Amino acid sequence: MEKKSIQQASFLYVEDDASNRQVMQLLMQKVMRAQALIIFEDSVDFMTRVKALSPRPDVALLDIHVRPHNGFEMLDMLRADPQFHHITVIALTASVTNEEVEQLRSSGFDGAIGKPLRASIFPGLLERILKGESVWYVS
Helix (H/G/I), strand (E/B), else coil: 49: helix
CA distance 126 to 137: 11
> pLDDT per residue over 23-76, tens digit each?
999 999 888 888 899 999 999 999 999 999 998 999 999 999 999 999 999 999
pLDDT at 124: 95
Residue 138 has pLDDT above 90, yes or no: no
For residue 82, tell me if it sits in a domain: yes
Give this prediction's pTM.
Answer: 0.94
For residue 88, tell me if it sits in a domain: yes
pLDDT at 98: 85
Residue 1 has pLDDT above 70, yes or no: no
- Residue range of the domain that includes 73: 10-137
| Number of domains comprising the chain | 1
Residue 2 has pLDDT above 70, yes or no: no
Amino acid identity, residue 81? D
Determine if the peptide bond prior to 68 is cis (ω within 30°): yes
Residue 139 has pLDDT above 80, yes or no: no
For residue 3, tell me if it sits in a domain: no
For residue 32, tell me if it sits in a domain: yes
> pLDDT per residue over 79-129, tens digit each?
999 999 999 999 999 877 888 889 999 999 999 999 999 999 999 999 999
For residue 4, tell me if it sits in a domain: no
For residue 2, tell me if it sits in a domain: no
Cα separation values, 31 from 12, 26, 92, 127, Å: 17, 7, 19, 13
Amino acid identity, residue 16? D
Burial 86-124 (b: 16+ CB within 10 A, else e): ebbbbbbbeeeeeeebeebeeeebbbbbbbebeeeebbe
CATH of the domain at 55: 3.40.50.2300
